Amino acid sequence: MDQPTLAPEKQLDATTVDEAIAYLRAEYADAVTLDDREGYGGVIVQSNRLVDVARAIRDDLGFDYLSSATAVDYLGAGDHLEMVYHAYRTSGGGSLVFKAQTDREQAEIPSLVPIWRGADFQEREAWDLMGIRFRGHPNLKRILMWEGFHGHPLRKDWREAYYEEDQKPFDNRWPGGQVYRVEERNVFGKNVTYPPDIDLGRLMDSSETAVYQSLGLGVDVERIMDKDGFETNELVVNMGPHHPSTHGVFRMVLTVDGETVTSLEPVMGYLHRNHEKIGERNTYLHNIPFTDRLDYISSMGNNHGYVLAVEQLMSLGRKYNPPTYRCEALRVMMVELSRIVNHLWAIGFWLNDIGAFFTPVLYFVQERERILDFFEAVAGSRMMCNYMRFGGLFGDLPERLKSVSNLTNDRVRDYNTMQFLTEMINERIPRTIDELERLLTQNEILLERSVGVGVLTREDAINYSAAGPLLRGSGVAYDIRRADPYSIYPELDFDIAVEDEGDMYARYRVRVAELRESVRILKQILPRLEATEGESIWADGKPGAYAPRVPHGEAYGRVENGKGELGYYVVSAGGRGGSANPWRYHVRAPSFINLTPMGIMSRGHKVADVVGILGSIDIVLGETDR
Amino acid sequence: MYGTGLAKGLLLTLRHFVDSYVDDIRYGFRKYHHSTDNFAVRQGTKTKGVITVQYPDEKVAVPERFRFVPFLIVEDEDHPTRSGKDWCTSCGICAKVCPPQCIWIVRGNDPNTGRPVPEPEAFFIDIDICMNCGFCAEYCPFDAIKMDHDYELASYDRTTHHIHDKERLSKPNSYWRGIAPTRAYEEMLARGTWEHKDAAKEARRGASGARASAPQPAPQAEVAAPAAASEAAPPAEASAPPAPAAEGATPWSEDDAKREERRRKALERKARRAAKRGQ
Ligand code: SF4
Ligand code: SF4
C-alpha cells in the first residue's frame, strides 16, 4: 500500500470544484465524463482508471478527505450499479463527487483503500449490501451481515423476510384495512433463501472463520510464539458482543500477547436492521422519525442532516421556499443542545470505561435530563424527537413548558419557556461544564490513563476518514459548520476546537471545548429567538405537505453531529411531478466510519486501554449498524 | 503538586453529597410529600442535588405535546346533537403518513346507497409497530386522531392486547381538551370552532336562515378557559371542560375566525418585516 502523502504545494489544490472537474476532464479525457443526468453533479470515471483518477484527486487537487463512498442500484434505470464518492479538502469547501459504474451481474470496481484507508469499511459495506467486488481490497468480506448470508439486501430486486410491497403507503391499509400481524401471514422463512452449502440443521456461521483468517490466524485460533527463547501464546480474545464496555452489541476480536494488543478487528452488525432499505420503502416524510433511531443520543442532529438533504433536492424544483430565519435559529438551538447532551454522555461513559464508575456520568446526566425535558415539551419526545420537517419544524416553541396531570400520582411542572432556556444556557450548563473540568481535567488518574494512549496521527486521521472530535483531536481543524457551512452558522461567532496530540486526552479536551463553544452559540441564539418572536417557522405561513414534491436528482446533506460528520446521500427518481419515495437513501454514519482506525489506534496498548479507546471514539450502535 | 487534581475532584463529590440534602432541609424533610407544590422547583433549573422521582409513588406528568400511542376522538356523551359520534371521517391520510404502516382503516359505507360515508367502520392500530412519531395526529385534517399521554400500556400478552380496535382507541373530546388544553385551544383557533369541521358547516347551513335571530354566544368566555387553565390546576382533575353552549350553535363564529386569522397574518407580516429590518 502506498503511504498517504499530503498534497504537494501546487496551485491546483486551491482550485474551485468546477475548475478541479475541468482539470480532471483535461488530464483524463478518455476516462472522465461529466455526469449530466438531470439533477446530478460531479463526474463519472471509467472504472479501469478509477485508482489513477482518485490519486490525482487526492494528491494533485488536494481533496484529501474521502467523506462518503456508497453504492446505488439503478435497476430499470440503466441497469448498472454505481459507486458514488464524495471527496473534500480538509481546508474546507465543497465536494468533488465522482462515480464509477459497473455491470450488475459481474459487479467489480477497483478498491480505493490504497488511496484512502477510510474506504475500507465503506467498500465492505457496499460489497455486503450491494454485491460489488472491490479488486485489491485487503480484507473484502461482509461487514454487517454474516458471511453465510445469501444475497445482497440493498439491491432493488432483493426482498426482505417481511416483505409486503415495494413502497409505502401499502394498499391494504385503507380503505379496506383488515388488520393482521405480518408474522401471521408471512411466517419467517418464506422470503429467506440460503446458500446451497448451508446445512440448516447445523447452522454454522462461516463468518467466524473469516474473521480469524483476516487476523492472520488461519482457522487455528492459537499460535505459539517464540520470543527470545521465551514461549508465549498469542491468543484471541473476543470482547463482546455482550460486554458492558462496548456500548451496545458490538464485538472486538483481538489478538493479545500477554496483556498487549497485537491486532484488533471490530465486528459489527448485531443491531443491523437495514435502515437504508426501510428508507427506500418509506416516503420522504416517513424517514424523519426513522433517523431518530440512528444515533439516538442526538436525534435532533440526525433530523437536521436528513431534512437538509431533502431540501437540497426540493430546491431543484420550482416551488420551494427555504425555511424562515426563526426556523433556522430553532434548528441550530436544538442541534447545539443535543451536541451538549452528546458530549456530556460521551465523556461520562468514556470515564466509566476507564474506571471512574458512574459518579461523573450521573452528574452530567442530570443536566441532560433538563435538556431532554425541554425536548419533550417542545417536540413531544425525549429522545425520538422527530422535530424537523422539510422547510420547517414540527412546531414553534410553546409559550410554557407545561405538563398536565393525567395518571394517578402525576406531578405537574410549568415553566416559562424562554426563562427556562435562559437559565439553562446562562447558568446551569456553564456551571456543569466548570464542574466537569474541576472534576476531571487535572485529575492525575485520568491523565495517566489517557495521555499518550490511542494515538491517531494527523495523516492517519485524514486518510482513515475519521470525523468529529476524533479528527479534531488529531490536529485537523475540520468542522463542517465552518468548512462547508449550512443553516445560520456563518453568522454565528464560535471557534473550532482542535488539539494536536491525537490521544484520548486530546479528544476529551476537544469535547470539553466544544461544550463551551456550543454554549457560546446558544447564547447568540437566545436574542435571535426573541427578535423573531411571532415569525412563522414556515416560509408561507402554513405547514408543509405530507407528500412533498421531490424532483429528480441526487443530494448529499451533511452536518457536524456530536459524533462527527453525519451525511445523507439521497437520490430521487422523481418524474416531472416528483416521486414519493427516495430511490436511494444512504447514511454516512460517523460511528461506523470512525471505527476504521480502531485497529491501528489500539495496537501496542493494553486490553484495558482498548475499552477506553473505544469510549473515546464515541460510538452508538444504532448508528454503527443501521 | 501531584494529587491536587484528585483532591479537587473529591471535594466536588463531597459538595454533591451535601447538596443532595439541601432540598430536604428546604422542604423540612418533606421532599417526597404528596403535594405538588415543591415538585416543579425540585425538577426545575434552580434545583440542586438529587432530582430523582419516586416512581410510581410520584410520576412526572408529561408535557402537553408528549406523544404516545394515538387515540381517536369521539364526541362527548352530553353533546346535544352528535353524542358519541366519531370525529374521524375515514379519509385515510393518517394511514398514508404512518411510517411503519400500523394503521388499518375500513371506510364506512352507507348500507342503502353503497357510497362511502365519512365515518370509519373499523379502525386498528398495532401498538407493537407504532413508533409514536405523531404524524397521524399532525396531518389529520379533521383533528380526529391525537397522541395520548397514557404510557402505562404494558400487558402480559401481546398477541391479544396490542392491536387496538376502534372501541379501545376511542376517547371523548373532553379527554383531549383535558390533557392538552393549550393545543386544543390552538386547534380550535385554526378550525375556527370548537366543533368538528363538518358539524360546524352543517350547523351553519342549517342556521343560516335563522342567523339574524339567533345571537351568537360570546366566544370570549370559553376561549379564556384553557388559557386560564395553563396557570391554574390541571383541568383533567379540576372538571370536565365546558359543554358546548347551545344547541347547534358554534361558539366561535366563522366571521370571528376570519377576523382572528387576518389579525394573526397581519401580526406575522409585521414581525417578518421587523426581522428583515433588523438584519
Ligand atoms: S386522518 Fe383523521 S380523519 Fe382521516 S382517517 Fe385518519 S383519523 Fe380519520
Ligand atoms: S404515531 Fe406514528 S407510528 Fe403511531 S400510528 Fe401514528 S403515524 Fe403511525
Which CA distances in Å does A567 have to A8, A273, A485, A555, B18?
A: 29, 19, 14, 10, 45
CA dihedral angle for residue A9, residue A11, residue A17, residue A19, rounded to 10 degrees: -150
Confidence (pLDDT) at A506:
92
Confidence (pLDDT) at B224:
43
**Highest averaged pLDDT of the listed ranges A217-221, A261-265, A375-379:** A375-379
Residue A200 binned pLDDT confidence (cut-offs 50, 70, 90): low
Confidence (pLDDT) at B130:
92
Q: Which of A412, A420, A423 sits opposite B61 (nearest CB)?
A: A412
What is the residue whose three cell numbers read 483532591? B7
**Residue among B50, B53, B57, B96 with most chain A CBs within 10 A, to mutate:** B96
**Residue among B104, B139, B151, B270 with most chain A CBs within 10 A, to mutate:** B104
Query: Ligand 2 atom closest to Cα of B135?
Result: 7
Of 3.40.50.1460, 3.40.50.720, 1.25.40.10, 1.10.645.10, the CATH number of A321-549 is 1.10.645.10
C-alpha cell at B221: 368566555
Which CA distances in Å does A508 have to A163, A221, A358, B94?
A: 44, 36, 17, 45
B140 lines ligand 1 (CB under 6 A): yes
Residue A556 binned pLDDT confidence (cut-offs 50, 70, 90): very high
Instruction: Please give the ipTM for the structure prediction.
Output: 0.82
φ and ψ at residue A341, rounded to 5 degrees: -55, -45
- Exposure of B142 in the CB half-sphere (CA atoms within 13 A): 24
Query: Ligand 1 atom closest to Cα of B145?
Result: 7
Print burial letters for A382-417: b (CB count within 10 Å at least 16), e (below 16).
bbbbbbbbbbbbbbbbbebbbbbbbeebbbbbbbeb
Average pLDDT over residues A616-621: 89
Ligand 2 centroid vs A540 CA: distance in angstroms?
A: 26
Average pLDDT over residues B127-154: 90
Task: Give the relative orientation of helices A325-353 and A359-379 as an angle to the nearest 10 degrees.
Answer: 160
Paired sense of beta strands B59-60 and A410-411, if any: parallel
Measure in Å the smallest separation between the Cα of A155 and chain B Cα atoms. 21
Confidence (pLDDT) at B216:
44
CATH superfamily of A11-135: NADH:ubiquinone oxidoreductase Nqo5 subunit (3.30.460.80)
Of 3.40.50, 3.30.460, 1.10.3470, 3.30.70, the CATH number of B68-259 is 3.30.70
Of all residues in chain B, what percent carry a pLDDT higher than 90?
A: 12
Say whether pLDDT at A205 is over 70: no
- How far is the first Cα of chain A from the last one, in angstroms, to the nearest whole number? 30
Measure in Å the smallest separation between the Cα of B188 and chain A Cα atoms. 16
Instruction: Pinpoint the residues of chain B covered by CATH 3.30.70.
Output: 68-259
Count CB-CB contacts under 10 A for residue A577. 10
Atom 6 of ligand 1, residue of closest alpha carbon: B94
Please judge whether B96 and A376 are an interchain contact, meaning their C-beta atoms are less than 8 angstroms apart: no
Residue A364 in contact with residue A432, Cβ under 8 Å?
yes
Average pLDDT over residues A459-469: 91
Say which DSSP state A579 is in: B
Q: Which of B53, B126, B275 sits opposite A535 (nearest CB)?
A: B275
Mean pLDDT (chain A) is 84
Chains A, B: CB pairs < 8 Å: 236
For the whole model, what pTM was predicted?
0.84
Confidence (pLDDT) at B272:
78
Ligand 2 centroid vs A289 CA: distance in angstroms?
A: 10
Per the DSSP assignment, residues forming a β-bridge with A68 are A86
Task: Say which ligand is closest to the CA of A289.
Answer: 2
Residue B139 in contact with residue B97, Cβ under 8 Å?
yes
Confidence (pLDDT) at A225:
47
Which CA distances in Å does A210 have to A141, A206, A393, A609?
A: 8, 7, 47, 26
Q: Does B167 touch chain A (CB under 8 A)?
A: no
Question: Collapsing DSSP states into helix, strand and coil, what is residue B191?
Answer: helix
C-alpha cell at A248: 451496545
For chain A, give every domain's residue range.
11-135, 210-273+589-620, 321-549
Ligand 2 centroid vs A201 CA: distance in angstroms?
A: 40
Nearest chain B residue to A404 by CA distance is B234
Q: Specify the higher pLDDT residue, A265 or A409.
A: A265
Please judge whether A546 and B93 are an interchain contact, meaning their C-beta atoms are less than 8 angstroms apart: yes
Write out pLDDT tens, residues A23-42.
888 888 888 888 888 888 88
